[in-house]
Amino acid sequence: MELKAHLYRLENIKAIHDLATAGIDHQVISVFLSAEGICITPIEVTNIVNTYDALGKEKVPTKKVQALLTAKKICQEDENLPCPV
Protein backbone atom coordinates (compact mmCIF):
# COMPACT_ATOMS: atom_id res chain seq x y z
CA MET A 1 0.00 0.00 0.00
CA GLU A 2 1.27 3.44 -0.87
CA LEU A 3 1.95 6.20 1.64
CA LYS A 4 -0.68 8.33 -0.06
CA ALA A 5 -3.38 5.79 0.81
CA HIS A 6 -2.30 5.83 4.46
CA LEU A 7 -2.50 9.63 4.53
CA TYR A 8 -6.03 9.53 3.13
CA ARG A 9 -7.01 7.07 5.85
CA LEU A 10 -5.47 9.26 8.53
CA GLU A 11 -7.40 12.27 7.25
CA ASN A 12 -10.62 10.22 7.28
CA ILE A 13 -10.03 9.20 10.89
CA LYS A 14 -9.41 12.82 11.88
CA ALA A 15 -12.57 13.88 10.03
CA ILE A 16 -14.63 11.20 11.81
CA HIS A 17 -13.30 12.34 15.17
CA ASP A 18 -13.97 16.00 14.38
CA LEU A 19 -17.52 15.26 13.27
CA ALA A 20 -18.19 13.23 16.41
CA THR A 21 -16.69 15.98 18.59
CA ALA A 22 -19.04 18.46 16.91
CA GLY A 23 -21.94 16.36 18.20
CA ILE A 24 -23.00 14.72 14.95
CA ASP A 25 -24.63 11.33 15.45
CA HIS A 26 -22.53 8.33 14.45
CA GLN A 27 -25.31 7.08 12.16
CA VAL A 28 -25.18 10.38 10.24
CA ILE A 29 -21.39 10.19 9.98
CA SER A 30 -21.73 6.62 8.67
CA VAL A 31 -24.24 7.64 6.00
CA PHE A 32 -22.11 10.65 4.98
CA LEU A 33 -18.98 8.54 4.56
CA SER A 34 -20.91 5.85 2.69
CA ALA A 35 -22.05 8.53 0.25
CA GLU A 36 -18.37 9.46 -0.21
CA GLY A 37 -17.52 5.85 -1.08
CA ILE A 38 -16.23 4.75 2.34
CA CYS A 39 -18.45 1.93 3.57
CA ILE A 40 -18.52 2.13 7.36
CA THR A 41 -21.11 1.21 9.97
CA PRO A 42 -22.13 3.35 12.96
CA ILE A 43 -20.47 0.81 15.27
CA GLU A 44 -17.19 1.22 13.37
CA VAL A 45 -17.51 5.00 13.70
CA THR A 46 -17.98 4.59 17.46
CA ASN A 47 -14.93 2.30 17.65
CA ILE A 48 -12.78 4.78 15.72
CA VAL A 49 -13.85 7.67 17.96
CA ASN A 50 -13.22 5.66 21.15
CA THR A 51 -9.83 4.46 19.91
CA TYR A 52 -8.84 7.98 18.84
CA ASP A 53 -9.74 9.31 22.28
CA ALA A 54 -7.73 6.55 23.99
CA LEU A 55 -4.54 7.35 22.07
CA GLY A 56 -1.90 9.19 24.04
CA LYS A 57 -3.38 8.56 27.49
CA GLU A 58 -0.35 6.53 28.59
CA LYS A 59 3.21 7.54 27.88
CA VAL A 60 5.76 4.83 27.18
CA PRO A 61 9.18 5.48 28.74
CA THR A 62 11.74 6.70 26.20
CA LYS A 63 14.22 3.98 27.18
CA LYS A 64 11.66 1.28 26.42
CA VAL A 65 10.85 2.78 23.02
CA GLN A 66 14.55 3.01 22.14
CA ALA A 67 15.10 -0.59 23.23
CA LEU A 68 12.20 -1.82 21.08
CA LEU A 69 13.39 0.12 18.04
CA THR A 70 16.94 -1.19 18.48
CA ALA A 71 15.66 -4.76 18.80
CA LYS A 72 13.60 -4.32 15.67
CA LYS A 73 16.60 -2.99 13.70
CA ILE A 74 18.80 -5.88 14.83
CA CYS A 75 16.22 -8.54 13.96
CA GLN A 76 14.47 -6.98 10.99
CA GLU A 77 16.04 -9.48 8.58
CA ASP A 78 14.93 -12.48 10.65
CA GLU A 79 11.34 -13.39 9.76
CA ASN A 80 11.13 -16.01 12.52
CA LEU A 81 11.07 -13.38 15.28
CA PRO A 82 7.88 -11.40 15.95
CA CYS A 83 7.99 -7.62 15.62
CA PRO A 84 8.57 -6.12 19.11
CA VAL A 85 6.62 -2.95 18.34
For the segment 17-43, what is each residue's pLDDT rounded down to a tens digit?
A: 999 999 999 999 999 988 988 888 999
Helix, strand, or coil (residue 43): helix
pLDDT of residue 1: 45
pLDDT of residue 11: 83
Backbone angles phi, psi at 43, to 5 degrees: -65, -40
Could you tell me the pLDDT band of residue 3, with boundaries at 50, 70 and 90? low
Model pLDDT for residues 6-17, shown as the tens digit of each residue: 556 778 888 999
pTM of the entire predicted model: 0.59
Q: Which helix (H) or strand (E) holds 66?
A: helix 62-75
Residue 84: CB partners within 8 Å, gap ≥ 6?
68, 71, 72, 75
